[in-house]
Structure formats: C-alpha cells, structure tokens
Structure 1
C-alpha cells in the first residue's frame, strides 16, 4: 500500500462494520478525530509523528503507532530506522515472523491509496470503500509507551494489480469468527493462514485517478472494483 488511509471513526459505515464483526467495544477507546476525516502517511523523512491512530490490537484495546516498523525507542519517543518498513510483505522473513504470529492488529478504513508507475512518474489512485473495510497490520510496543506498525500486504492480485502491481493490502473478512481469529488466534491458526494465503476483496472499491491522495482531486471517470466472487462493473 502506498501510504494512505482515510478513516472516519464516527461514520455510520465504520460503526456498522465494527458492530458486524463484534468490535463496537473499541469505539469508546478511539481518540477523537477532529474534522471527521484523517489522512495517514508512513513515517517518510524519519518523522515518528506520522502515526496510524486507533489501531485495534484487541477487542478492548487500541493504540496509536508510528507507521514504520523499523524503529527503536529513545527517551520518550522513537527513532526511525533506515529500512523501508511501512508495509510488511515478505512474511517469511525473520524480521516479520514474530509480529505476524503474535502481534496482529486491525486498521479500520474508508479508503486506501495506491500508485503504479507510468513513464517517468506514477499514477495515483484513490480507492474508496463501499462502506468501510478492515486491513491487517502488525505492531510492536516499546517500554517507553511508544509503538510502531506496518500494514500487511500480499503478493499481486489479478484484479488489483492494474492499480498497484507489487501487492494488495491484506484486507480482512467482515466476519466475527475471522476477526476474532486474527486478533486472538495462535501462531498457526488456520483461519489466519487462509487470510494471508488467499488475498481477497471483501467490499467493493470505487477507484479514481487523483493528482494527490490528500487533495483527492479526480482526473476523469471512476471505475468499480467488485468484491471477490463478483463481476467487475
């Protein structure tokens, strides 16, 4: 994922989805998000203030985590490492293995941003959910009270690759049992393994080419990317 999450925690679609998957207990824990919509970006420029807020780590816990997994505590803050780690891709690597097995979290989102190369530059796509969506993440917490995280991505998906050729975000099923397994299941939970091994779209996405993710100004028509198992419209 190219470093953009748009979320509205007081949005009816978000509330409905959290109720559907049994996570409404997290809503009172969410920090207030003034303005209703937030744009999240990874900690490029080694800026630890760039965080994903209200990352769900358990049905009774949320954290704010710097969006860059390679980090270390220093004083009451974090120092960002040189390794590019806002996305967790090669999950067989020892770097990710412990977190994927024991420290899985959930990002609640209403849109994501992706990019694909074009000529000497890139084309940017705003992908707005038909409601809301859940995205798998990993996190680590430090003794000074800070935390770091990464969004899990999986190998290229045949329908998603036209918008991002390298990977697809690890979208999570809108299902109570699956969400419970993701947060509480053991390191070899078969439900978790299936989610990681078989990436799918669980909600429709309206895809628009944009000049920038933050502005969201669209460059022409949009298309609809249907959930897995349905035809593309």
Structure 2
C-alpha cells in the first residue's frame, strides 16, 4: 500500500512535466510526505489534452453540506490491480500522479523511503472520479516485487514507464484495457534509474537513519 509520497520541487519535476507536454505545470502541488485525504496533483486528459489538475487523494467521497469529503466507510487511497476489471474508472478515468518518492513499512514498522536514482521524477498510475467540480483519485497497487517484499510484502505501486506512447494511451479515451496487461506487475527499473531504498525514523518525517542502497 502506498500511503505517503513526495512531490519534491527540487527534483526537476516541473521540467519533467513540461517535457511530457502536460499543460499547466504551474498548478503542481509540492510537498514532502503527501498524506491520504489531502489535495494532490494528478494528470488527466478529460478535456482533450494532458493537464495538471488537483484532486482529493481518496477515490470515494461523500457529500457534507456544500462540499465533498472522503467517504467514511470506504478507505480508497489505493486500488488493487486485481479489482481493476470491476472499476469503470479503469476503462474511463485513468490518471497519472506526479511524484519523486514514496514510503512503505512492513506492518507499520521499519519505514523506508523509495526513490529512483537521485529522486528522479516519475508518475504513479491511478484512477480518478468526478464529483461535480471536485476530483478524487487513488493509486493503483500491484503485487510486491520479489526484491521489495521485505519492505512491504503485499504491494508495490504501479509506476508508468517513461514512455510517450504508454502515457498517451493511459490518459486516452479508449476503454480497451488489454494493452495495459503487461504492465500489471511490479517493475523496479521502469524509469531507467535504479530503485533506491533508505530507512527513515518515522514514515511521516524525512529524518534518515541508514544509508541509501540500491534494491
């Protein structure tokens, strides 16, 4: 489960966004340890071209007065790949979520930060929903990679290959999800940079307690 991630403004993320032809990079919400149920930046093409928008990181919402808030009964910050076929969003409302790192822990213990190379920017693959003018999102999770199971035995976030064709297809309007089947397995070398892990004192902070090492 991915429950915290970084959007570091010192890691060339805006340039990464611009290099992929994504509109409105100035809308990016930066910050370390982005938390569930808060606003995060996503990329959608629902208006015809790839654009940065902001969404609540919790796919299912409920109305409270004149606003939408995370649904109390359905914890939905992640969407497990095994249930993607049951979700209309997988066919109709796919998104990308810019990031530079994420945090995992095994049963809430021994948290570690994952990143690629020197915190190279990347995209999580996700789903989004529209609630009037409000958007919500979730990160798709895959089965753990054999080399990362010691840090989280159950899952690994789905990360988009740094490939124009994949990104265009993922954000596109086609409801044919068959081309995505080969990507529904954890790949720790997707961005072309090595996957790096570093222990932290607590999942919610950026105080490191060990050396960075390649997974």
Task: Calculate the TM-score normalised by the size of structure 2.
Answer: 0.84
Q: Structure 2 residue aligned with 1:112, among 99, 102, 127?
A: 102
Q: Structure 2 residue aligned with 1:193, among 172, 177, 181?
A: 181
| Distance verdict in 2 for CA 1:90–1:110, change over 3 Å | closer
2:128 aligns with 139
Is this contact kept in 2: 1:2–1:115, CA < 8 A?
Answer: no
Q: Give SS of 1:78's match.
A: strand
Number of residues of Structure 1 aligned to a counterpart in Structure 2: 206
Task: Calculate the TM-score normalised by the size of structure 1.
Answer: 0.78
Q: Give SS of 1:92's match.
A: helix
1:157 aligns with 145
Unaligned runs of 5+ in 2: none
* Offset of residue 56 of structure 1: 0.2
* Offset of residue 17 of structure 1: 6.4
2:161 matched to 1:173? yes
1:46 aligns with none
Q: Structure 2 residue aligned with 1:212, among 181, 202, 207?
A: 202
Q: Distance in 1 between matches of 2:94 and 2:197?
A: 28
| Distance verdict in 2 for CA 1:90–1:171, change over 3 Å | closer
2:83 aligns with 92
Q: Distance in 2 between matches of 1:220 and 1:136?
A: 29
Is this contact kept in 1: 2:96–2:124, CA < 8 A?
Answer: yes
Q: Distance in 2 between matches of 1:14 and 1:32?
A: 8
2:36 matched to 1:66? no
Q: Give SS of 2:89's match.
A: helix
Q: Distance in 2 between matches of 1:114 and 1:137?
A: 18
Unaligned runs of 5+ in 1: 44-49, 226-233
2:8 aligns with 8
Q: Distance in 2 between matches of 1:25 and 1:212?
A: 34
* Range with bigger deviation, 202-211 or 182-191: 182-191
